[in-house]
């Protein structure tokens, strides 16, 4: 058995331990069943084409066995889905750096939707964030090169680069929610930096002018990384020490990350042993249940999870589990719908393979992939409100119009969450009071 590592993010590749086995071969193998899908004939065809190219192609410098084999593997993997990828030495090295929570780039989390390269979220305090790039913006050109026929992994490779290098992006910002409506095209020139992946961005009690007498905690998770469980534990302990009576967990624009971190985050609010998410693939080895573990339990206070159409992967796992198990109320919009498992294998020699091997399912066996997790209470927001939320967190200098927009902004989804929590607490208090009232009994002399 060889060690595979499972990932659920978009731009940065994160890993979690999982075991899976694959037979990888070059040329012919005695284990290949010649009767299955004409494997012998087609493997022979691939070999013949490689030899023909080596003998006849005009530019001999481009036809080494390594170049042709790598090109073939890249084509094979990219033809399967946007998330499967052959990792050459450079890509595999980048992936390994990503797992350490630091990489060189722009701070853009990107994905493919309707064959278009879109921004899932700009990471805070990064070049992309400071440039005002917003979730839902389409990247139509990278340094003048159209992204129309780029694969997701190919686009990511173009976006990455050395610290200090400049890059020009041509962006399309949709106008309204109608994809047929022409949007605004703009350009952004960014300089690549070392990106440090953040997880818990805010942990605080909401102001009393919003919550009244209720002590409502608020935690925003930007994504799931190595340190997320520890940061979450510290944030919860801090808020509980301040007398938190209810919690709002904000997963809006959270693109995912480490599977283990997402499972541990959900597990903080669930009993040990509870199934949080399961995977199902073509073989029994690809089917697995991830359960809550640990001994410390947090109080059973009411929880609301905020989600939107850019909450993806790990965020969908947490939201789906807490919803299915009745531990939280989901407010916002249906999530992105990225619920497939990518297993990464080290093939030796500095190369690797990322392959979609299974799909994720919530505890009630609902699929996430290409469907998403719907909210319990729908609370859509406008593009202007979305932009205002991002601007409010920006550390760059705002224009006068932007300052006015932020000043007059209301986070209607957050306000809806506070109202829902108030209703839950009132209902719970009434139920508790009713249970404490015992029926009067009379004695018969």
Q: Looking at 250, 260, 324, 411, which residue is catalytic?
A: 324
Question: Do 232 and 379 fall within a single domain?
Answer: yes
> For residue 146, what are the domain limits?
105-196
Residue 22: predicted pLDDT? 27
Residue 101: predicted pLDDT? 59
Q: Looking at 313, 323, 340, 343, which residue is catalytic?
A: 313
Question: Do 157 and 293 fall within a single domain?
Answer: no
Q: Is residue 97 part of a domain?
A: no
Side by side, which strands form the sheet with 303-307?
200-205, 216-221, 246-250, 303-307, 329-332, 377-378
Question: Do 274 and 386 fall within a single domain?
Answer: yes
In this structure, what CATH number is given to the domain that contains residue 264?
Answer: 3.90.226.10
Residue 390: predicted pLDDT? 73
The two structure tokens encoding residue 72: 């073939």
In this structure, what CATH number is given to the domain that contains residue 161?
Answer: 2.30.42.10
Q: Is residue 65 part of a domain?
A: no
SS3 content of the chain, % helix, strand, coil (to 5): 30, 25, 40
Question: Do 241 and 187 fall within a single domain?
Answer: no
Q: Is residue 179 part of a domain?
A: yes
Contacts of 35 (CB under 8 A, 6+ apart): none
Residue 440: predicted pLDDT? 52
Q: Is residue 289 part of a domain?
A: yes
Question: Do 177 and 262 fall within a single domain?
Answer: no
Distances (CA, A) of 122 to 110, 183, 221: 9, 19, 13
Q: Looking at 6, 74, 323, 338, which residue is catalytic?
A: 338
- Separation CA 126–CA 426 (nearest Å): 42
Q: Is residue 177 part of a domain?
A: yes
pLDDT in tens, 148-181: 989 888 898 899 888 999 999 999 998 765 556 6
Say if residues 416 and 379 touch (Cβ distance below 8 Å): yes
Question: Do 277 and 301 fall within a single domain?
Answer: yes
Question: Do 321 and 377 fall within a single domain?
Answer: yes
- Separation CA 380–CA 374 (nearest Å): 12
143 belongs to the catalytic site: no
**196, 230, 262 - which closes a domain:** 196
- Separation CA 200–CA 216 (nearest Å): 17
Instruction: Give Cα 409 distance to the centre of its chain.
Output: 27
Residue 297: predicted pLDDT? 74
- Separation CA 386–CA 133 (nearest Å): 12
313 belongs to the catalytic site: yes
Q: For the chain, how many structural domains are there in total? A: 2
**137, 172, 196 - which closes a domain:** 196
Question: Do 325 and 176 fall within a single domain?
Answer: no
Point out the residues of the chain with pLDDT beneath 50.
1-5, 7-32, 34, 442-445
- Tokens 């780039």 belong to 105
Q: Is residue 79 part of a domain?
A: no
**136, 163, 196 - which closes a domain:** 196
**Residue 290, SS3?**
strand
Question: Do 270 and 250 fall within a single domain?
Answer: yes
- Separation CA 208–CA 347 (nearest Å): 56
Q: Is residue 413 part of a domain?
A: yes
CA-closest candidate to residue 157, choices 86, 69, 73, 222: 86
Question: Do 117 and 252 fall within a single domain?
Answer: no
Question: Do 177 and 225 fall within a single domain?
Answer: no
324 belongs to the catalytic site: yes
State pTM to two decimals: 0.72
Question: Do 319 and 425 fall within a single domain?
Answer: yes
Q: Is residue 445 part of a domain?
A: no
């Amino acid at each position: 058995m060889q060690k595979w590592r499972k990932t659920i993010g978009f731009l940065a590749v994160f890993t979690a331990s999982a075991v899976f086995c694959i037979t990888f071969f070059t040329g012919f193998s005695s284990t290949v069943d010649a009767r299955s899908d004409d494997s012998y004939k087609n493997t022979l065809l691939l070999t013949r084409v490689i030899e023909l190219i080596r003998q006849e192609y005009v530019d001999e410098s481009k036809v080494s066995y390594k170049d042709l084999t790598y090109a073939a593997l890249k084509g094979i993997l990219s033809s399967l889905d946007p998330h499967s990828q052959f990792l050459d030495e450079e890509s595999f090295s980048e992936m390994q750096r990503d797992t350490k929570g630091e990489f060189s780039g722009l701070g853009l989390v990107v994905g493919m939707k309707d064959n278009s390269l879109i921004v899932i979220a700009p990471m805070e305090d990064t070049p992309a964030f400071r440039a005002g790039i917003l979730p839902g913006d389409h990247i139509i050109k990278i340094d003048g090169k159209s992204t129309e026929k780029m694969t997701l992994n190919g686009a990511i490779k173009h976006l990455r680069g050395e610290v200090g290098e400049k890059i020009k992006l041509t962006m399309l910002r949709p106008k309204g929610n109608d994809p047929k409506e022409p949007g605004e095209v703009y350009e952004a020139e960014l300089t690549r930096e070392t990106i440090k992946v953040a997880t818990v961005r805010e942990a605080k009690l909401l102001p009393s002018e919003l919550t009244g007498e209720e002590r409502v905690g608020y935690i925003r998770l930007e994504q799931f990384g190595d340190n997320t469980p520890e940061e979450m534990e510290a944030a919860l302990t801090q808020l509980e020490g301040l007398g938190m009576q209810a919690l709002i967990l904000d997963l809006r624009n959270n693109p995912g990350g480490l599977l283990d971190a997402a499972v541990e985050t959900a597990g903080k609010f669930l009993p040990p042993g509870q199934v949080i998410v399961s995977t199902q693939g073509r073989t029994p080895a690809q089917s697995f249940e991830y359960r809550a573990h640990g001994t410390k339990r947090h109080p059973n206070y009411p929880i609301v999870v905020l989600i939107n159409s850019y909450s993806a992967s790990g965020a969908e796992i947490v939201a789906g589990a807490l919803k299915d198990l009745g531990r939280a109320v989901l407010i916002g919009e249906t999530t992105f719908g990225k619920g497939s498992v990518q297993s990464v294998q080290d093939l030796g020699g500095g190369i690797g393979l990322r392959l979609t091997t299974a799909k994720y399912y919530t505890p009630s066996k609902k699929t996430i992939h290409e469907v998403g997790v719907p909210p319990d209470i729908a609370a859509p927001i406008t593009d202007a409100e979305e932009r205002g939320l991002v601007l409010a967190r920006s550390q760059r200098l705002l224009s006068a119009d932007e300052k006015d927009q932020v000043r007059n902004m209301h986070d209607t989804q957050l306000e809806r969450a506070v109202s829902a929590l108030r209703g839950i607490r009132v209902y719970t208090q009434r139920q508790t009071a009713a249970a404490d009232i015992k029926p009067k009994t009379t004695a018969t002399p």
